[in-house]
Amino acid sequence: MAETAVKPLVGIVMGSDSDMPVMAKAAEILEELGISYEMTIISAHREPDVFFAYAKSAEEKGFKVIIAGAGMAAHLPGMCAAIFPMPVIGIPMHTTSLGGRDSLYSIVQMPSGIPVATVAINGGANAGLLAAKILATSDEALLQKLKDYSAKLKSQVEAKDARLKEVGYKAYMAEQKK
Ligand code: RP5
């Protein structure tokens, strides 16, 4: 399910279009699991009025989770959590100057009372999965899809191990380089 007219359950918001490659990983997971979402670019710093309108209307729009990604002095996820009353998942962006530690600390170190569930630096896919798991607590069909997703991951590792046993590590490495 791509971004559609269906009422979005998840808001994906990023501070800049430079964050898009990471945020797209979250969108890909939601699409794979059939979860409706809306994707938005808003800079909390450069257009605070637009940001406040977005965050204040998120509950009314039907969002159940917000995935917010930002880099550097990354206030966007924390400010979403300050306004939106349901779960906010923060994605710290990798940065060239400080390797993403600036983003990570800005997002993960929320003061008591305003939590942001923070995934790894550039952890777009895990943010999508975490949003799905939150929604699956009240959606049996989605829960089954997540179980199937985990089973797929397991079988991928098993297939890799079987190939390793079959050809040995040298040939396996050569195949990886192709
Ligand atoms: C943040 O500043 C954005 O989330 C982005 O990660 C970072 C750099 O933004 P650009 O200068 O690339 O627009 O607000």
pLDDT mean values, one per 10 residues, the chain (178 residues) = 74 98 98 98 95 98 98 97 98 98 98 98 98 98 98 98 98 94
> Which residues does residue 68 pair with via DSSP β-bridges, in sequence order?
13, 90
User: What's the pTM?
Assistant: 0.94
Residue type, 24: A
C-beta 71 within 6 A of ligand 1:
yes
Q: Which of 122, 131, 82, 79 is nearest to 101 (CA)?
A: 122
39, 46, 50, 72, best to mutate for ligand 1 pocket (most atoms within 8 Å of CB): 72
CA distances from 18 to 24, 70, 133 (A): 11, 9, 27
C-alpha closest to that of 55 among 74, 78, 83: 83
Interval between CA 166 and ligand 1 midpoint (Å): 47
pLDDT reported for residue 38: 98
C-alpha 47 – ligand 1 centre gap (Å): 13
So what's the pLDDT on residue 42?
Answer: 97
Contacts of 87 (CB under 8 A, 6+ apart): 64, 65, 66, 117, 131, 134
What is the distance of C-alpha 124 from the center of its chain? 4
Q: How far is Cα 38 from Cα 152, in angstroms, rounded to an integer?
A: 27
Q: How far is the CA of 68 from the centre of ligand 1 (A)?
A: 13
pLDDT of residue 1: 47
Asked if residues 95 and 73 have their Cβ atoms less than 8 Å apart, the reply is: no
* Cα–Cα distance measured from residue 154 to residue 177, given in angstroms and rounded to the nearest whole number: 23
Residue of 129, 125, 89 lying closest to 107 (CA atoms) = 89
